[in-house]
């Protein structure tokens, strides 16, 4: 059967999106030309901050002392889980070596980037979890220099919980900088010992656009849009949990889509009834964000069977995909497009957002069709090498010379010719491309 929309979005994450490219590009060029003084000026203008840019060891120590022990224990718990998962990922990455033909050895190595820049969002919330996800993963991957920046609060700087977290996870230098100026400082090497080779971490639309413009000059984790989540649920699901999970993700922002695909009309109708009540019970601005996201971006989709639900999920390719349905092993083997998968009502996206281990920096806006989220692999370069004996060089040089001339690349061909002359003097080789065909 064709899917039926019991609730249809009136807007998408891209609807009405301000064209930021010109503004952000101008800021980046001004920072590039003017250096650190321009960064400080933007920081004063946008974050109302004129204090220290590089956070001092004394400030970090004061932050550590200011935090209650229970909060520090919770942060350590999350850090341990995320570190262990990243270490397990690293164990799956291998180097190899093969004798391709007798005398020709080739292989691959896994080399971490030298310097990573981790952006940690600020603003209304202290994104402790984002600090853990980015810095810890870079540390496990073996990155030598880890930079981090986060928007300072006026008169305060980076909140104590974030400073403690960044230091615990292994940040080598922490900057009281947010927005475009923070991204630029790490990319251009201002206030830090080295330019970032890769920029990672979530941020607002200005941060995302800055990373998009700088991609190529530096690496980035992914192109990011508003966070999104989809739940697939059958008649065995608890509508209270489904509704709560939708609201929890809608809280992220006014344009954060949440979707429900279900085979059970009664469940869908109960969720549609419960969600507004749960949103109304949230404090503002959380409730305002969730209401806007639900009213304008949310969808509830009635499907004919579980295969149709799976097809819907793959088509949406959500950042977060939560299965609250029977036969979880079937869903794990069937689903193909998601940033991170949550199986069963015993877990929730919030666990993944904060503490459970797998990374929460994930592809949005359908990008899960072709990429996964942040992992140790993002900080590693798979590079290759080769070496050969003179005997192995002979067939390589002959074939290379002929293929190069077939392509019209005489300079390439002659680098092969000269080796045949050196290693096999006096021998004759037919190095013309075949005239057949």
Give φ, ψ of 152 to 5 degrees: -80, 150
- Tell me the C-alpha distance between 179 and 24, whole Å: 10
| pLDDT tens profile 382-394 | 999 999 999 999 9
| pLDDT tens profile 17-42 | 567 899 999 999 999 999 999 999 99
Domain boundaries, the chain: 4-16+226-372, 35-221, 389-437
DSSP code for 193: S
Mean pLDDT across 292-310 = 97
Evaluate if pTM is beyond 0.95. Answer: no
Catalytic option among 127, 320, 322, 360: 320
Give the gyration radius of the chain's Cα atoms. 26
Laid out side by side, the sheet with 104-112 consists of: 96-101, 104-112, 380-388
Fold of 35-221: Rossmann fold (3.40.50)
Q: What's the pLDDT band for 435 if we cut at 50, 70, 90? A: low
Catalytic residue flag (residue 319): yes
DSSP 3-state percent helix, strand, coil across the chain (nearest 5)? 45, 15, 35
Catalytic option among 319, 345, 421, 435: 319
| pLDDT tens profile 389-422 | 999 999 999 999 999 999 999 999 999 999 999 9
Fold of 4-16+226-372: Rossmann fold (3.40.50)
Mean pLDDT across 66-79 = 97
CATH topology agreement for domains 4-16+226-372 and 35-221: yes
Question: Which runs of E-coded beta strand occur in 151-267?
Answer: 173-176, 198-200, 219-220, 229-233, 258-262
């Amino acid at each position: 059967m064709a899917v039926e929309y019991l609730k249809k979005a009136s807007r998408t994450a891209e609807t009405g999106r301000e064209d930021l490219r010109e503004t952000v590009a101008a800021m980046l060029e001004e920072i590039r030309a003017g250096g650190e003084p321009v960064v400080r000026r933007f920081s004063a203008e946008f974050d109302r901050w004129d204090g220290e840019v590089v956070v001092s060891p004394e400030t970090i120590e004061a932050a550590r002392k200011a935090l209650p022990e229970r909060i520090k224990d919770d942060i350590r718990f999350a850090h341990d889980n995320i570190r262990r998962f990243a270490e397990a990922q690293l164990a799956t990455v291998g180097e190899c070596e093969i004798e391709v033909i007798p005398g020709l050895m080739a292989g691959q190595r896994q080399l971490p980037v030298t310097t990573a820049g981790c952006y940690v969002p600020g603003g209304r919330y202290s994104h402790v979890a984002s600090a853990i996800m980015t810095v810890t993963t870079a540390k496990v991957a073996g990155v030598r220099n880890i930079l981090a920046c986060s928007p300072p609060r006026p008169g305060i700087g980076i909140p104590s919980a974030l400073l403690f977290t960044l230091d615990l996870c292994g940040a080598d230098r922490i900057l009281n900088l947010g927005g475009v100026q923070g991204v630029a400082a790490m990319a251009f090497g201002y206030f830090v010992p080295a330019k970032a080779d890769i920029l990672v971490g979530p941020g607002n639309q200005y941060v995302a656009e800055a990373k998009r413009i700088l991609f190529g000059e530096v690496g980035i984790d992914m192109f990011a849009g508003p966070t999104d989540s989809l739940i697939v649920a059958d008649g065995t699901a608890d509508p209270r949990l489904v509704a709560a999970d939708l609201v929890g993700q809608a809280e992220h922002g006014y344009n954060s889509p949440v979707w429900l695909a279900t085979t059970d009309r009664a469940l869908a109708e109960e969720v549609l009834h419960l969600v507004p009540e749960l949103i109304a019970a949230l404090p503002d601005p959380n409730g305002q964000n969730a209401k806007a996201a639900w009213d304008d971006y949310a969808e509830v989709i009635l499907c004919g069977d579980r295969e149709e639900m799976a097809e819907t999920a793959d088509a949406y390719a959500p950042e977060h995909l939560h299965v609250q349905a029977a036969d979880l092993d079937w869903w794990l083997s069937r689903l193909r497009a998601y940033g991170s998968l949550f199986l069963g009502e015993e877990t929730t996206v919030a666990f993944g957002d904060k503490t459970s281990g797998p990374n929460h920096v994930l592809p949005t806006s359908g990008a899960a069709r072709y990429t996964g989220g942040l992992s140790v692999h993002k900080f590693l370069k798979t590079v290759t090498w080769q070496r050969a004996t003179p005997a192995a060089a002979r067939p390589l040089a002959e074939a290379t010379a002929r293929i190069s001339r077939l392509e019209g690349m005489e300079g390439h061909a002659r680098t092969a010719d000269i080796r045949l002359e050196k290693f096999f003097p006096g021998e004759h080789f037919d190095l013309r491309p075949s005239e057949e065909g």
